[in-house]
Amino acid sequence: MTKITVKNNGSVRIEGDFMICDQDGREFGLGGRTAISLCRCGHSENKPFCDGSHKRVGFQSEVQARELPPPVMGAVDLRG
Ligand code: FES
């Protein structure tokens, strides 16, 4: 099982069974980590991973879980 947690004012935390690949399908070597944080503020010097820069820049984004509408046939998925 994989758990993805969107942290308030911070990163996206991934825990469990996962792999992270670049757009060409090459897998990142994660050094045996079973949890890692991805940057969602855009300021990390180590993208796509969080390096704590969100605190320095005062990134603000608080989220709560919610229901998304059903996908529309032929439409592009919801993207940030
Ligand atoms: S979310 Fe942590 S550096 Fe961007």
Q: What pLDDT shows up at residue 74?
A: 76
Which residues face 5 on adjacent strands?
Answer: 13
Q: What pLDDT shows up at residue 40?
A: 98
What residues does ligand 1 touch, defined as CB less than 6 Å away?
10-11, 39-41, 43-44, 50-54
Strand order across the 2-6 sheet: 2-6, 12-16, 35-38
**Spans of the chain, pLDDT less than 50:** none
- Ligand 1 centre distance from Cα of residue 40 (Å): 6
Q: What pLDDT shows up at residue 73?
A: 85
Ligand 1 pocket mutation pick from 38, 44, 61, 63 by most atoms within 8 angstroms of CB: 44
Query: Which domains are assigned to the chain?
Result: 1-63 (3.40.5.90)
- Ligand 1 centre distance from Cα of residue 62 (Å): 14
